[in-house]
Structure 1
Amino acid sequence: MTPRTTDDALSRLLDAGAARAAVTAQHARLWAALALATEGGKRFRPALVVAAHDALGGRRTAAALEVGAAVELLHTAFVIHDDVIDGDDVRRGRPNVSGTFRALALESGASPEDAVDLGRTAGILAGDLALAAAIRAVATCGAPTAVVGRLLDLFDAALHTTAAGELADVELSIGTAPSSLGGSLAMAEQKTGAYSFELPLQAGALLAGADDSTVADLGDAGRSLGIAFQLVDDLLGVFGDPGRTGKSATSDLRTRKQTPLLVHARSTPEWGQILGHVGRELDDRELDEVRDLLVRSGSRHYVEGLVEAHLAAARDVLVRLGIPVALLDVVEVHPAAFAAGAEVAA
Structure 2
Amino acid sequence: MSQPSSLNSFFDDALRRSLDEHDRNLWSAIWDQASGGKRFRPRLLLAMYAALGGEDEHLAAAAADAVALLHTAFVIHDDVIDGDEIRRGRPNVLGQFSAYADGAGASPERAKRYGESAGILAGDLALLGALKVIATSGASRSMLNRLIDLLDDVLRRSAAGELADVRVSFTGATLEEIIDIAAWKTSAYSFELPLQAAAILAGAEEDIVVGLGRAGRSLGIAFQLLDDIDGVFAPADQTGKDPLSDLREGKFTGLMAFARDSEQWEELSRCVGRSELTAEEADRARTLLIESGARDSVTALAQEYREAALAEAMSLPQAAGDVVRKAIALILPGESGVRSVGVA
TM-score range, shorter chain: over 0.9
Quote how far apart the aligned CAs of 1:39 are: 2.9
Q: 124, 137, 161: which is aligned to 1:128?
A: 124
The separation in 2 between residues aligned to 1:16 and 1:306, in whole angstroms, is 46
Whether contact under 8 Å (2:49, 2:199) holds in the other structure is yes
The separation in 1 between residues aligned to 2:40 and 2:115, in whole angstroms, is 28
Whether contact under 8 Å (1:184, 1:259) holds in the other structure is yes
The separation in 2 between residues aligned to 1:117 and 1:163, in whole angstroms, is 22
The separation in 1 between residues aligned to 2:13 and 2:33, in whole angstroms, is 16
Q: Deviation per CA, 1:231-289, whole angstroms, max 9, x where unpaired?
A: 11111110111112102212111111111111111111111221122011333322222
- Which ranges in structure 1 are unaligned for 5 or more consecutive residues? none
Q: 217, 241, 245: which is aligned to 2:239?
A: 245
Q: Which letter maps to 2:15?
A: A
The separation in 1 between residues aligned to 2:285 and 2:340, in whole angstroms, is 21
Q: Are 1:271 and 2:265 counterparts?
A: yes
117-126 or 288-297, which deviates more: 288-297
**Counterpart for residue 288 of structure 2:** 293
Q: Deviation per CA, 1:156-214, whole angstroms, max 9, x where unpaired?
A: 11111100111111111122xx5100011101110111111011100000011001111
**Counterpart for residue 304 of structure 1:** 299
CA shift in 2, pair 1:295/1:7, >3 Å: farther
Q: Are 1:115 and 2:128 counterparts?
A: no
**Correspondence 1:1-346 to 2 at 5 A:** 5-8=3-6, 10-20=7-17, 22-175=18-171, 179-280=173-274, 281-322=276-317, 323-330=320-327, 332-335=330-333, 340=338, 342=340, 344=342, 346=344
Whether contact under 8 Å (1:189, 1:227) holds in the other structure is yes
Q: Which letter maps to 1:282?
A: L
- Which ranges in structure 2 are unaligned for 5 or more consecutive residues? none
Q: Deviation per CA, 1:122-180, whole angstroms, max 9, x where unpaired?
A: 000000000000111111122222111111111111111100111111111122xx510
Quote how far apart the aligned CAs of 1:216 are: 1.0
CA shift in 2, pair 1:227/1:341, >3 Å: closer
Whether contact under 8 Å (2:3, 2:43) holds in the other structure is no
What is the count of residue pairs matched by the alignment? 339
Q: Which letter maps to 2:74?
A: F
The separation in 2 between residues aligned to 1:249 and 1:142, in whole angstroms, is 44
The separation in 2 between residues aligned to 1:140 and 1:222, in whole angstroms, is 27
The separation in 1 between residues aligned to 2:9 and 2:268, in whole angstroms, is 48
Whether contact under 8 Å (1:307, 1:335) holds in the other structure is no
Compute the TM-score of the two structures, normalised by the length of structure 1: 0.93
Whether contact under 8 Å (1:76, 1:130) holds in the other structure is yes
Q: Which letter maps to 2:299?
A: E
Whether contact under 8 Å (2:187, 2:221) holds in the other structure is yes
RMSD (Å) for aligned C-alpha atoms: 1.9
The separation in 1 between residues aligned to 2:325 and 2:26, in whole angstroms, is 35
The separation in 2 between residues aligned to 1:110 and 1:89, in whole angstroms, is 17
Residue aligned with 1:321, SS: coil
Whether contact under 8 Å (2:333, 2:340) holds in the other structure is no
Quote how far apart the aligned CAs of 1:15 are: 2.3
CA shift in 2, pair 1:151/1:139, >3 Å: same
Quote how far apart the aligned CAs of 1:5 are: 4.1
The separation in 2 between residues aligned to 1:223 and 1:336, in whole angstroms, is 18
Q: Deviation per CA, 1:34-93, whole angstroms, max 9, x where unpaired?
A: 111123312111111112111111112221111111111111111111111111111111
Residue aligned with 1:192, SS: helix
The separation in 2 between residues aligned to 1:341 and 1:71, in whole angstroms, is 24
Q: Deviation per CA, 1:277-319, whole angstroms, max 9, x where unpaired?
A: 2011333322222212211211111111111111111111111
Whether contact under 8 Å (2:40, 2:343) holds in the other structure is no
The separation in 1 between residues aligned to 2:89 and 2:113, in whole angstroms, is 22
Q: Which letter maps to 1:333?
A: I
Residue aligned with 1:64, SS: helix
Whether contact under 8 Å (1:165, 1:187) holds in the other structure is yes
Quote how far apart the aligned CAs of 1:17 are: 2.4
Whether contact under 8 Å (1:80, 1:97) holds in the other structure is yes
Q: Which letter maps to 1:180?
A: T
The separation in 1 between residues aligned to 2:123 and 2:335, in whole angstroms, is 30
